[in-house]
Each structure stands twice: as structure tokens, then as C-alpha cells.
């Protein structure tokens, strides 16, 4: 008889260091196993009372250039790529100790976090993992930006980017990925943040993006991609927008069974969509799924646990 898919954590502690893309400061981050129903919890070890900040859509306090969580006066920012990595590995419960206000940017994608957490190993709890199954369409708009969730038996995401620029005009401005058939880890997790050098000067004048470099972003001037090796995927820009949306929506605390559609959307719209879902409990239900954790086919968008 099938058993249910259980919640997941990691087997052992792992840590790394990197820089905060906005502060430019060095950051140490440590991932520790957590018991069932803990959720994802950040601990600010640099603050005197080591406050905990729960990863949760209703605790998002700022969405300018990154997603920031706040709780009891403490904040942690730039959490979205890490959250996308946790979604990819199906990790439900984790304690994350961090000695700064910002998750390190690593290479600007989710891939370094996935690599590190796979080194720690994935452990399944006995408690059933719950999924949010979309039953009715939800939509939010902000100006001409739009984000939607629709019913779908699996998880897929599409994104449309509208920007008339000589570089963006050379690459796809739309992509659609069905993670029931396509591996997020192989096909999207390596997509990096990107930005125009002219916007970088403006952001740095506001003390943002002080740690930004071609080591952690795709840099674009008026006509060229500045990174010597070019892009990792032809549609890296739109794939990164999907990666951001997945990370932002994983603040719901559970993986979605449904379809995400984004049009010119970003962190503010992603968080508005998550809050819209929380405000409409008739549009979704919690479900658990049967299956062996080693079988990728049971729920293909989630990384199987290595035997
Ligand atoms: Zn991003």
C-alpha cells in the first residue's frame, strides 16, 4: 500500500558564506535540521536576543528589489532564491541561522543553495506533507502587471516580460515550464538575477546593490551582456522571473498544486498573490499525496530523495 509523502528537512547541518547583494557585507549562513511542522525559520544570530523570523507570506514587509521578512522588529532580506531552492528540494522544516540582514546572493541563482542542501542530505518525517491545491482562479493586478493562480494537477509556471531594449529584444520574453515534465533544478534553478548598468548606478546612490557584480548577476549595458560567458539559458531572464515567483510563493509554507502565470509581475505582485490566496480559503484546499519518496514520478516537480 502506498504511504503518504512526508514533510522534509535536512539530515545534517551545512553552512556557507557569501556577500549580501545590497549591503555588500560578508554573511555567514547555517542550515540546521528542524522537526515536523516547524516550517522555515530564520534566526538572526548577530542580534542580541537572536530573534526568530518565520518564512511566511504575511510577514513580508518590503518587496523593493528583493523580498524582506520582518518579525518582532528584526528583518531578513533577499530570501527568494533560497526559498526557491527549498521548494525544489521539497524542504518543509529548516532552521536558518544568519549573521546579517540579508541572505548571501551567491551566484544570483538558486543553484548554489540546492547544491549545498543536497550535500546535507534530505530526510523525510513521518508527518504528511501538505500541498495547497488551487480549486478556483485567483488574480492580482498592479498597474499593467498581473499574476494569477489557476487549477492544474501538478505545477506549471509561465512568465511574460515586456521591455523594449536592444538586449532583451534578442532573447525570449516569454517562457512556460511544466514542472511535472521539466526539472526545475536542471532547467531553471541556475537562472541568475539580471540588471541594467544604468539602473545599478541609481540603486547604488540609494545604498542598494552595493555587493552587485558580474559574479552574482547578469549585467547589461545599452547593447550587450557584460558577462564573458553570456547566458546560462537562452531564456534566462524570464526563467529567473519564474524562479523569483516560486520562491516568493513558497512563503505560503506549502508547495502549490496549480498553475502560475505572471505578466510583468515581480516581488510585489507575487506577495499580493500569496496574500490573495490566504484571504480566499474557498479557492484552495490542503491535500496530502501518496507515494514513495524515492519515486520521482509520483510528484515530478519535487526532487526525489536519494536512496
Ligand atoms: Zn531574483
Residue 111 alpha carbon to ligand 1 centre in Å: 12
Q: What is the DSSP-derived secondary structure letter of residue 305?
A: P
**pLDDT score for 302:** 67
Residue 189 alpha carbon to ligand 1 centre in Å: 11
Residue 214 alpha carbon to ligand 1 centre in Å: 14
At 213-224, the pLDDT tens digits run 999 999 999 999
Residue 245 alpha carbon to ligand 1 centre in Å: 9
| Banded model confidence at residue 291, pLDDT cuts 50, 70, 90 | low
Mean pLDDT, residues 202-230 taken together: 93
Active site residues: 267
Q: What are phi and psi of 78, to 5 degrees?
A: 60, 45
**pLDDT score for 292:** 55
> Per DSSP, what are the bridge partners of residue 157?
177, 260
At 243-281, the pLDDT tens digits run 999 999 999 999 999 999 999 999 999 999 999 999 999
175 closest CA partner among 105, 236, 250, 220: 236
Residue 297 has pLDDT above 70, yes or no: no
Residue 243 alpha carbon to ligand 1 centre in Å: 7
* Helices assigned H by DSSP within the chain: 80-89, 111-120, 184-187, 197-205, 236-249, 267-279
**pLDDT score for 301:** 62
Do the Cβ atoms of 147 and 139 come closer than 8 Å? yes
Residue 191 alpha carbon to ligand 1 centre in Å: 9
pTM, two decimal places: 0.95
Q: What is the mean pLDDT of the chain?
A: 93
Do the Cβ atoms of 91 and 286 come closer than 8 Å? no
Residue 114 alpha carbon to ligand 1 centre in Å: 15
**pLDDT score for 278:** 97
At 87-133, the pLDDT tens digits run 999 999 999 999 999 999 999 999 999 999 999 999 999 999 999 99
Residue 175 alpha carbon to ligand 1 centre in Å: 16
Residue 213 alpha carbon to ligand 1 centre in Å: 14
| Distance in angstroms (rounded) separating the CA atoms of residues 84 and 82 | 5
Residue 230 has pLDDT above 70, yes or no: yes
Residue 307 has pLDDT above 70, yes or no: no
**pLDDT score for 306:** 62
**For residue 129, what are the contacts with CB-CB under 8 A and spacing of at least 6?**
4, 5, 6, 7, 8, 90, 92, 254, 255, 288, 289
At 162-198, the pLDDT tens digits run 999 999 999 999 999 999 889 999 999 999 999 999 9
Amino acid at each position: 500500500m502506498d504511504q503518504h509523502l512526508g514533510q522534509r528537512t535536512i539530515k545534517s547541518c551545512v553552512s556557507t558564506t557569501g556577500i549580501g547583494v545590497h549591503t555588500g557585507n560578508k554573511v555567514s549562513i547555517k542550515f540546521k535540521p528542524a522537526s515536523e511542522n516547524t516550517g522555515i525559520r530564520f534566526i538572526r544570530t548577530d542580534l542580541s536576543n537572536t530573534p526568530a523570523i518565520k518564512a511566511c507570506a504575511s510577514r513580508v514587509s518590503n518587496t523593493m528589489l528583493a523580498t524582506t521578512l520582518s518579525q518582532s522588529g528584526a528583518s531578513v532580506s533577499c530570501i527568494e532564491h533560497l526559498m526557491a531552492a527549498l521548494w525544489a528540494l521539497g524542504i518543509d522544516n529548516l532552521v536558518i541561522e544568519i549573521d546579517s540582514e540579508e541572505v548571501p546572493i551567491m551566484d544570483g541563482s538558486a543553484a548554489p543553495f540546492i547544491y549545498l542542501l543536497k550535500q546535507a542530505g534530505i530526510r523525510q518525517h513521518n508527518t504528511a506533507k501538505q500541498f495547497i491545491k488551487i480549486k478556483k482562479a485567483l488574480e492580482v493586478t498592479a498597474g499593467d502587471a498581473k499574476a494569477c493562480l489557476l487549477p492544474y494537477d501538478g505545477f506549471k509556471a509561465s512568465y511574460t516580460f515586456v521591455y523594449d531594449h536592444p538586449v532583451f529584444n534578442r532573447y525570449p520574453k516569454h517562457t512556460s515550464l511544466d514542472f511535472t515534465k521539466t526539472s526545475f533544478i536542471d532547467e531553471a534553478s541556475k537562472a541568475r538575477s539580471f540588471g541594467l548598468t544604468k539602473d545599478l548606478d541609481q540603486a547604488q546612490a540609494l545604498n542598494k546593490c552595493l555587493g552587485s557584480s558580474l559574479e552574482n548577476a547578469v549585467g547589461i549595458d545599452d547593447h550587450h551582456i557584460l558577462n564573458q560567458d553570456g547566458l546560462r539559458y537562452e531564456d534566462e531572464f524570464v526563467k529567473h522571473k519564474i524562479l523569483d515567483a516560486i520562491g516568493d510563493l513558497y512563503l505560503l509554507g506549502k508547495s502549490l498544486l496549480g498553475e502560475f502565470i505572471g505578466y510583468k509581475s515581480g516581488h510585489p505582485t507575487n506577495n499580493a498573490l500569496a496574500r490573495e490566496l490566504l484571504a480566499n480559503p474557498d479557492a484552495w484546499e490542503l491535500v496530502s499525496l501518496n507515494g514513495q519518496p524515492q519515486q520521482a514520478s509520483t510528484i515530478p516537480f519535487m526532487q526525489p530523495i536519494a536512496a
